[in-house]
Structure 1
Amino acid sequence: MNGIEMRIVETLLNKPELIDSIYINTDWFTDIKLRNIVKAIQSLDLQERTLLNIFNEMDNDGSVEYKNLVDIQGGFVTSASIESDVKSLHKLYAQRNLEVSMDVYKQYPKKQELANLSEAIAELEKIDEAEDNGKLEDAIEELQVRLTSGKPTGIKSFEKLDNLLAGGLYGSMLFTIGARPSVGKTAYAVNLARQIVSKDPEVQVDFFTLEMNKREMLNRFISAVVNVDSQKLKNPSGLDLLFSEQVSAGINWVRNHKIRIYDRVLTLGGILSVIKKNAAKAKPDKYVAIIDYIGLVKVNGRQDRWLQVGKITRELKIIANEYNIPVIALAQLNRGVESRQNKEPLLSDLRESGSIEQDSNVVAFLYRPDDDNRELVKLSIRKNREGQLGDISYYFEGQYMLFKETDEDVQ
């Protein structure tokens, strides 16, 4: 058995709580038996991670006996090397992946194989980067550049939103947008993505949709970009030439901008893996991840949902810091806001966990202040570590899934 893999499993069998603080992808393991042990630990809540429960949870073909787990647990010496061992494990996996990609590219020197090779190189380079030494040189240099140029750094979106965010979406930001169902939070996220790539076509937006499929999301982008009725896109047969030309223009717009839509990545681990892979290749201020929405993200284990949500927001904040990227996460609000006369949501209305407020740099709420005016939607920023609090009014054309900033001043 691989020495590094064995040390990691020995440590986790003795200190299973470590698996919650260190990201481990079981695909990194070459030994199937050890991989299955780690999978079993990940699937259990902390208080359930006894040796017997781990054994019973394993996808076991009979090749691993309970006595084997006892023996592995008994080989434990120290947990001091766990972080370096996991990094080494990841690096070995990346090296194997690079070798495979090189061999495939030699046999099939096509565009897709070259892209796969580039991704493998980028992943390995990211692992090899120096550890954080706590020094401030990079941050000082970035500040000096901003002072010299007079231009705030950040990824641009809606103008008034950028102003409240002190220049735009910035690296390390976890930006949570909460709303009740049917207010238009997915449509708003689509419009945010559209604004971002329109302002800077070099920005890559990864959109994780856990509620809709790619076809539905594509329809929303096309509808907002070229102002065609979103309902007609669901059944486009028998429509006139002008409509077809508009749809074709919308398709070309999507093709010419860097938007990826993921509708089958449903777990926290899967989302983190995709973000890590793509953010590692991106230049500064050229990558944004959008998750729609937190309440549908699946997490390993059988913890209470509020604990799972806490893990989701914590990991999203960690990855935003680690890769210096903005992460936009949508969230659902409690029903209580609907029964109040004042419809403006409060931070306490965030559903399932207070960790959403705690981990987020910015928290905003999307709501309709007047039920009789369905076209007026407000974005209320109620937490903002780097900028101002305030409300932004939008005109929402539901037919086209389109948000437009109104002339009303930010409050």
Structure 2
Amino acid sequence: MIDDYKLPPNNYEAEQAVLGSIMLDAQSDNIQRVFSFLKPDMFYSRQHGHIFKSLSDLNTKGKPLDLLTLADVLEASGELQNVGGFAYLAELSKNTPSAANVIHYANAVKDKATERMAITQANRMLEILYSRNGMSTEDKIEAVQALSMQIDERAKTVKRGGLMPFFDVFSEWLDVVDGRLAQDPASIGITSGIQALDAMLEPKRIVKGSLFVIGARPKMGKTTLYTSMAIHCALNENLPALAFSLEMPRVQLAENIISQNSGVNSKVFYLNDYDDNKFSLASAKGFEIAQNGNLYIDDTPGLPLAHIVAESRRIKRERGVVGMILVDYLTLMKAEKAERNDLAYGIITKGLKNLAKELNCVVVLLTQLNRDLEKRQNKRPLPSDSRDTGQIEQDCDYWLGIYREGAYEENVNQAETEYLLRLNRHGESGVVYAEQRNGIIYPVDQEQAKRRNIEREEKPKSKKGGY
């Protein structure tokens, strides 16, 4: 029985080296960094955890962290003998190889703590699967998946749920800032691929953990923007993009993506006497996307929120990261029963927002707008125009409307498109201009487009006495 017993993961020598390094070189930047991410409960040895807590308390109070001061504090609290006495503290300092390696020692301690946490979570998973508490199999699997995602997230920060002291949050923030400065993809936002829009969103870009809503009336180019962002995330950001298409079959969506990425009009694919050169170019671009391996498509009709959550978590487990989750579109999803449609869809938008935070990715959600906006003189969309989704303004971090004057005026260039960033909780909002031709988005000169738009708006007013 004793031979079969397995000791929980730990690194006793690394724990000793961390404590010894602190007493040897307490004022170094590396030591202060250790205090920012290592916590007493990460030590497997309780006596080591208690020593570290005492050192951390002394550091917070600005007192010396030497052997004598530490021993005095432990003796005053009656804990000196419990941690091994003065002789053991002296041994820690004496036997530490080099205080210069303290970050390495501290990370070794943290890694073992993470492994112990993972074992605890795995045991909780077994308890859920073995339990006879009335949970359905689907509910159990979702609970297990949630615990699995917690392991992944805690592995990065070894954080616990619930209330956290600001000191812990501050140390996480320092790690994030370090990652941004080092251009770590995990710490910086995601670009959209629309040059003018990305310029407006700089320097934060589209912040991870955000819900990015795109609203428009039919035939405005929602799907074009949707596929453009998916392709850009997969190829340029080199991150997994998960496209859930409730409106368009996957083969048709793939055709649009290939056409958009190659610049070849999709009409070519329907002609018997097609252009070999164009077809070869389109095929090559399609093969490039396929080889990249970052783009995933799911065209399950009427899928519920639980399906998107489960599939997204699966890719996160398999790939370790998700860049974007794109849903086309909200009111085609299967909503839970509620007194009103807006409440039912509000459950979905909240769930997608939570999923973005959980997976540290961007969720792009398309939504159809009410036709009432077409009764207005100015038909440019507003967040309040979202159909059956009154809560969407509360849940989203970004709200972008798409408007084409050509949809209402035959004499206007049909390609001219306005992207109206009405809501941006992380920065400025505004309007950017582009052209959509054959399902492809092209950049334009922003100042020229703006002037042209102003001149067009002023002409009707001059004919009507300024009204």
Report the TM range for the smaller structure's normalisation: 0.5 to 0.7
Structure 2: runs of 5 or more not aligned: 1-127, 451-467
Give the distance between the partners of 1:227 and 1:366, measured in 2 at CA. 22
2:379 to 343, 352, 356: 343
Structure 1: runs of 5 or more not aligned: 1-27, 40-85, 96-121
Higher RCO (C-alpha 8 Å, min separation 6): 1
SS of 1:396 mapped into structure 2:
strand
Change (3 A) 1:183 1:267: same
Which structure 2 residues correspond to residues 291-310 of structure 1 after superposition, within 5 A?
A: 291-301=327-337, 303-310=339-346
SS of 2:261 mapped into structure 1:
helix
Change (3 A) 1:346 1:127: closer
How many angstroms does 1:171 deviate by? 1.1
Corresponding residue for residue 442 of structure 2: 404
Matched residues, number: 305
Amino acid at match of 1:376: E
Is contact 1:369-1:377 (8 Å) kept? Answer: yes
How many angstroms does 1:343 deviate by? 1.9
Is contact 2:233-2:240 (8 Å) kept? Answer: no
SS of 1:232 mapped into structure 2:
helix
Amino acid at match of 1:390: G
How many angstroms does 1:144 deviate by? 4.0
Give the distance between the partners of 1:131 and 1:299, measured in 2 at CA. 32
Give the distance between the partners of 2:441 and 2:427, measured in 1 at CA. 23
SS of 1:256 mapped into structure 2:
helix
1:262 aligns with 2:298: yes
Corresponding residue for residue 211 of structure 2: 174
What is the root-mean-square deviation in Å for CA atoms of aligned residues?
3.2
SS of 2:206 mapped into structure 1:
coil
Give the distance between the partners of 1:261 and 1:145, measured in 2 at CA. 30
Q: Which moved more, 1:218-227 or 1:147-156?
A: 147-156
2:400 to 364, 376, 387: 364
Which structure 2 residues correspond to residues 270-285 of structure 1 after superposition, within 5 A?
A: 270-282=307-319
Per-residue deviation, residues 236-278 of structure 1 (Å, max 9, x unmatched) = 5442322331231122122133110110161111011111222
1:217 aligns with 2:217: no
Give the distance between the partners of 1:199 and 1:364, measured in 2 at CA. 22
Q: Using structure 2 for the length normalisation, give the TM-score.
A: 0.59
Which structure 2 residues correspond to residues 12-411 of structure 1 after superposition, within 5 A?
A: 34=134, 90-91=143-144, 125-126=151-152, 130-132=159-161, 134=164, 135-136=168-169, 137-146=171-180, 153-156=188-191, 157-167=193-203, 168-200=205-237, 202-233=238-269, 235-257=270-292, 258-264=294-300, 266-282=303-319, 287-301=323-337, 303-370=339-406, 371=409, 372-397=412-437, 399=438, 401-409=439-447
Give the distance between the partners of 2:146 and 2:395, measured in 1 at CA. 30
How many angstroms does 1:403 deviate by? 0.7
Give the distance between the partners of 1:236 and 1:396, measured in 2 at CA. 23
How many angstroms does 1:302 deviate by? 5.3
Give the distance between the partners of 1:236 and 1:299, measured in 2 at CA. 41
Is contact 2:207-2:426 (8 Å) kept? Answer: no
Amino acid at match of 1:297: M
Is contact 2:211-2:362 (8 Å) kept? Answer: yes
Change (3 A) 1:282 1:155: farther
Per-residue deviation, residues 59-89 of structure 1 (Å, max 9, x unmatched) = xxxxxxxxxxxxxxxxxxxxxxxxxxx8898
Q: Using structure 1 for the length normalisation, give the TM-score.
A: 0.66
Identical-residue share of aligned pairs (%): 26
Change (3 A) 1:149 1:90: closer
Give the distance between the partners of 2:332 and 2:183, measured in 1 at CA. 42
